[in-house]
Amino acid sequence: MTPAEAVFQLLIGLSFGLLLFLLASGFTLTFGLARFVNLAHGAVFLVAAYVATSVGGPGWRFVLGVGAAAATGLVLSVVVYALAASRWRVIGERTLVQVLLTFGALLVLADYARSHWDGLPRSLVAPSALDGSWAFAGSAFPVYRLFMMGAALVVAALLWWLQERTSFGALVRAGVDDREMLAALGVSTRRLFAAVFALSGVLAGLAAGLGAPVLGAAMGQEFDILVLALVIVVLGGPGSLAGAFAASLAVGVADAYGKAFLPSFAEFTMMGLVIVVLAWRPAGLFGTAET
């Protein structure tokens, strides 16, 4: 392995890792801040990806596709919240009920996508300005990946700002700890959580739209995405956006080096990383110790 090759693989890994962060951040958000296990996240991604490939097109219509995907994510995620909110006292507090409800929603949404888009895999071609490749280290690196990396970094920065620097972030965290006290202070926790779900949906939609030229849309994604999101949440420490960010990059880079230099073990690299990290820090990279 020459240094140039190593840098090249690092770049591939970082670009994939940032895409992973986009698709896992929404899941982390509801899981960490609202403490709600939203398994429907995978299906929200799937439907948004199909919408992106249908609405999107060449040139400026790409932006339209990404926008439509984000809007789809928002609507679907709010619908899932509305389902949960209808009986929040039962659903909001019990993980098992949440899992049942959201897994059912996942199946319904995925089946809707199958019947509406005939189950065919689809793809979205990146705008021509971003469609080329740059020669690098005797190989070529797709320009679109760099764009995707930039977009994901912007989203990550916005999320950090939202969580750490705004009253919205503070309110959500307060609401998680003591909803009744927060309500007594005159804050509507329902509206707050609806906003968290909406944001989570927008993130899933953005990931689906921005990721469409790389991942496309295909049946089965609803589970693949869910597994990736779970891996990242566990690895990063539940509820920690910074952890999810670090975990996404670690998984992306490990995956790239694994594929490049140990191709026979590529499938194991990601889970191997999880095992090693959890043996070392059972609560995840940025998780707090449990009692």
Partner 1 sequence: MERTHRKSPSFLRRLAIAVVAASLLAAGIAGCGDDDSDNTVAKSGTPAGEQQGQAASEKTSDHSPIKIGVILSYTGPFGLYGKPMETVLRARLAKAGDEAGGRPIELIFEDDATDANSAVSKATKLVEQDKVAAVVCCVGGAATLAVGPVLAEKKIPQLGPIPNPAGLEKYATAAMAAPTAGHDATELGTYAAKKLGYKTAVVVASDFSYGHEVADGFKKGFTDAGGKVVQDVFAPLGTADFGSYLSRVEDADVAFGGFAGADAIKFVQQYQQFGVKKRMPLIGHGPLVTELVLKAIGDAAQDVGAGFYYSSTLKTPDNTAFLDALKPTPQVIPSHFTAGAWATGSVLIDAINRMKGDVSDGLALAKAIRATNIPAPWGTLKFDTSTGYAEAPTYYYVVKGAGATLHHEIVEEMS
Query: Does an H or E element contain 135, and which?
Result: strand 133-136
In the chain, the amino acid numbered 111 is D
Nearest by Cα to 217 from 144, 123, 118, 115: 123
Residues in 74-103 at the binding interface with partner 1, rule: CB under 8 A: 95-96, 98-100, 103
**Per-position x/- string for 135-164, each x denoting binding to partner 1 as judged by CB under 8 A, each - no binding:** x---xxxx-xx-----------------xx
Q: How far is CA 45 from CA 50, 83, 279, in A?
A: 9, 18, 31
Using the rule CB under 8 A, is 13 a contact of partner 1?
A: yes
What angle do the packed helices 95-116 and 41-55 form, to 10 degrees?
20
Which of 18, 210, 250, 255 forms a contact with partner 1 (CB under 8 A)? 255
d(CA 228, CA 235): 10
d(CA 216, CA 120): 11
Q: Which is nearer to partner 1, 68 or 212 (CB)?
A: 212
Q: Which is nearer to partner 1, 76 or 110 (CB)?
A: 110
Q: How many residues bind partner 1 (CB under 8 A)?
A: 72
Q: In whole angstroms, how close is the CB of 71 to partner 1 at the nearest point?
A: 23
**Residue 217 pairs with which residues in a beta bridge?**
122
Using the rule CB under 8 A, is 233 a contact of partner 1?
A: yes
Q: Which stretch binds partner 1 (CB under 8 A): 62-70, 73-81, 202-210, 250-258?
A: 250-258
Which of 59, 150, 272, 282 forms a contact with partner 1 (CB under 8 A)? 282
Q: Which stretch binds partner 1 (CB under 8 A): 81-89, 149-157, 189-197, 261-269?
A: 261-269
d(CA 138, CA 5): 9
